[in-house]
Amino acid sequence: MKNNIHTTSKKILLEFSLMPQLALMLALLLALPLSLYAQKPAASLEQVRNGGASSPVSPGNWQNGNLNASQAHFVESHSIPYRALLTGLPSNTRVSLTMAYDIRHSGRNALDFLTHFDRIEPHGQFFHPAEVIDPTLGTTFAGQLASPTSTLEIPRPTLLRGDGVPGTVWDQLTAAKRVMTMWGGFIESIVYDGSGDLSVSNSEQRIIVTFMTGNSGAAVLAWGGHIASRLDWGYDNAGVPLSAGGISGSPYHMRLKNWTLGNLGNQDRSLAAAAVIAPPGCALTGATAACAGEVNTYSTTETADSYAWTFAANTSGAFFTNSNGDNLGSSVTTNTGSIMVNSGPGGGSYTVNLVTTRNGISSTDICQVTAIITAIPARPDITYNPPACDETTFSIEVTCPLGAQYEYSNNGGATYQASPIFGGIAAGAGFSVTVRVVGTSCVSAATHCGNYDTQVCSASAAATSLEKDQQSSSQRLGTGELNLKSNVSAYPVPFKEKLNLEFYSERDGTFRVNLYDMGGKLIRQLKAGTGKAGDLQRIEVDGKDLEDGMYLVGVENGSERQTIRIIKKE
């Protein structure tokens, strides 16, 4: 018992002897500045994890690490969302943060430039809605997505290829998609530091963001990295895309390099190339002009699983067809990159539209070709002028269709002429006349000895066509005046320099004689005056300045109107 008491006594004495030392240490700790206990400034770089293409996650989760195809899905030209969580910030302090991103990786283009954090549209290629991208999730700013403290436009990229890419791509973004966003601070400037080289295999572009901190000690900075697209950069001579999509590894890197608040450590986040799907192209080629009823083929060199063909517009009655000439309608899906189009029965136009799909992803480009369709001229009506008893040749003249938009042939289309008149044809040689729309291959059926006496080209249709294609004039021969009257005579026909016109006045009063082209447009007035009913009026026409061809002479006498055709030929 005595020994136990003695031992306990020593222990109590020892504890009491340490008390002054513990008190002294506690006093020293309390005397240290409070700043030594404050949180040190820190930054954490994160990228969004929106799930795989078939297992989307919305809103997208934020991950402080690298991502692969099972964790994220994007299409070339989307922007990868990033955020920097900034903590331990001193109040009301100006801070400069340097970040970097790979513009070149393994000889391909990776991230073009920085954008707004939410740029993952269009998203229909994945057959589900785009995920919500909210940089405030899990932070003290949660719920403030729509009310950031500050935004500032990110400058246009300065590293450009000869054709202006990627600057021309940046130009296509709306102003709202060109900004960096901040909660808990105020962005003052965003500048490139002059780094980067598009001519080398691997290169990063650095950009410096300067901001003023608030009073909360925390902030969130959010932006996106624009994924380079082969639709912008194209392909090399071997047909390999110049974008980084499809290469092995993880070519898309974003980094926080340093800031004015100390060391940031290793802040590099990568995205695997397999998480970025290349958009299928749909470059379309085919005829841009055709004749009514003509069949043309439209095609693309893009490899795809399916090709959806539609008409974006159609005023000519066009339809998709096949080698059998079947009418397949106005919407066709094929597994080959070509389609046949019948341009339809009339004039007008149509626009072929193509959407390709590969691996469940549809093309987003507008791939269209518009074709202007010209109506086929009607088989021409002609006047056959047989040889006189002392002649061995005859002439023919086309009376419909007429106009500057037409040209005429009597040799099976080997040659065409502007004049609708063919003379000096040997008796017994026959004829075969066709009409072609100038500048096209749209040719009428032929009029020949066996069918010329059956007229199919109506004067009303010709007049309508002429009215559309000829320039307007303050004076034009009306369509009702195209009926020829025998009261007016002209000789010689054809004439070279001088033409004599004669007609009898139908009634007392004024008369007027005008010269028109075959489109009914006034060339000049030949004579005007007064006369009595039955008077013979004679006019000599000087035709030296007229080109070879057919003209109309119109005579107006009161309400009576008479017209005759004349022919000038050197």
Residue whose entry in the numeric block shows the structure tokens 């300045």: 545
Q: Is the model more confident about 206 or about 428?
A: 206
Nearest in space to 539 (alpha carbons), one of 480, 479, 482, 495: 495
| 416-431: pLDDT as tens digits | 999 999 989 998 889 9
- Please report which confidence band the pLDDT of residue 212 belongs to, taking 50, 70 and 90 as the band edges: very high
Residues 59 and 180 in one domain: yes
pLDDT of residue 287 exceeding 90, the answer is yes
Residues 355 and 390 in one domain: no
d(CA 497, CA 542): 6
In this structure, the strands spanning 252-259 and 94-105 are antiparallel
Asked whether residue 26 is domain-assigned, the answer is no
Nearest in space to 157 (alpha carbons), one of 250, 82, 245, 226: 226
Asked whether residue 460 is domain-assigned, the answer is no
For the domain that residue 314 is a member of, what is the CATH number? 2.60.40
Asked whether residue 105 is domain-assigned, the answer is yes
Nearest in space to 249 (alpha carbons), one of 273, 269, 277, 278: 273
Is the Cβ–Cβ distance between 369 and 352 less than 8 Å? Answer: yes
Asked whether residue 510 is domain-assigned, the answer is yes
The tally of CA atoms less than 13 A away on the side-chain side of residue 559 is 0
pLDDT of residue 543 exceeding 90, the answer is no
The residue from 448, 476, 507 where one domain ends is 448
d(CA 71, CA 55): 9
Residues 228 and 296 in one domain: no
d(CA 394, CA 548): 18
Residues 393 and 325 in one domain: no
pLDDT of residue 471 exceeding 70, the answer is no
Report for 147-151, 246-250, 377-381, 428-432: range of highest mean pLDDT? 147-151
- CB-based contacts of 270, cutoff 8 Å, min separation 6: 66, 67, 250, 252, 253, 254
The residue from 250, 277, 304 where one domain ends is 277
d(CA 224, CA 213): 22
d(CA 382, CA 405): 18
- Tokens at residue 390, please? 């002392």
Report for 31-45, 209-223, 380-394, 443-457: range of highest mean pLDDT? 209-223
Asked whether residue 236 is domain-assigned, the answer is yes
Q: How far is CA 107 from CA 199, 203, 241, 272, in A?
A: 9, 9, 11, 16
Residues 262 and 320 in one domain: no
- CB-based contacts of 448, cutoff 8 Å, min separation 6: 430, 431, 432, 433
> What is the model's pLDDT at position 10?
47
Q: What DSSP line would sit under 52-98, residue for residue?
A: ETTEEEEEEEEESS-B-TTT--EETT-EEEEEEEEESPPTT-EEEEE
Residues 142 and 269 in one domain: yes
pLDDT of residue 36 exceeding 70, the answer is no
Domain range for 257: 42-277
> What is the model's pLDDT at position 23?
53
> What is the model's pLDDT at position 550?
80
Asked whether residue 66 is domain-assigned, the answer is yes
Nearest in space to 130 (alpha carbons), one of 75, 66, 62, 84: 75
Q: Work out the end-to-end distance of the chain between its first and last CA atoms, rounded to an integer number of angstroms.
A: 155
Asked whether residue 366 is domain-assigned, the answer is yes
The residue from 277, 308, 328 where one domain ends is 277
| 341-365: pLDDT as tens digits | 999 998 999 999 999 987 667 776 7
Nearest in space to 403 (alpha carbons), one of 467, 447, 457, 346: 467
Query: Is the pTM here over 0.75, yes or no?
Result: no
pLDDT of residue 31 exceeding 90, the answer is no
- CB-based contacts of 70, cutoff 8 Å, min separation 6: 52, 55
Q: How far is CA 382 from CA 418, 494, 563, in A?
A: 15, 17, 18
Asked whether residue 29 is domain-assigned, the answer is no
- Please report which confidence band the pLDDT of residue 469 belongs to, taking 50, 70 and 90 as the band edges: very low
Q: What DSSP line would sit under 444-487, residue for residue?
A: PPPEETTTTTS--S-HHHHHHHHHHHSPP-SSB--GGGGSB-TT
- Please report which confidence band the pLDDT of residue 60 belongs to, taking 50, 70 and 90 as the band edges: very high
Query: For the chain, what is the domain count?
Result: 4
Give the 3-state DSSP-derived string for 182-242, with helices as H, strands as E and coil as C. EECEEEEEEEECCCCCCCCCCEEEEEEEEEEECCCCEEEEEEEEEECCHHHHCECCCCCEC
- Please report which confidence band the pLDDT of residue 446 belongs to, taking 50, 70 and 90 as the band edges: very high
User: For residue 51, which phi and psi values (nearest 5 degrees)?
Assistant: 85, 170
Average pLDDT of the segment spanning 221-226: 99
Q: What is the mean pLDDT of the chain?
A: 86
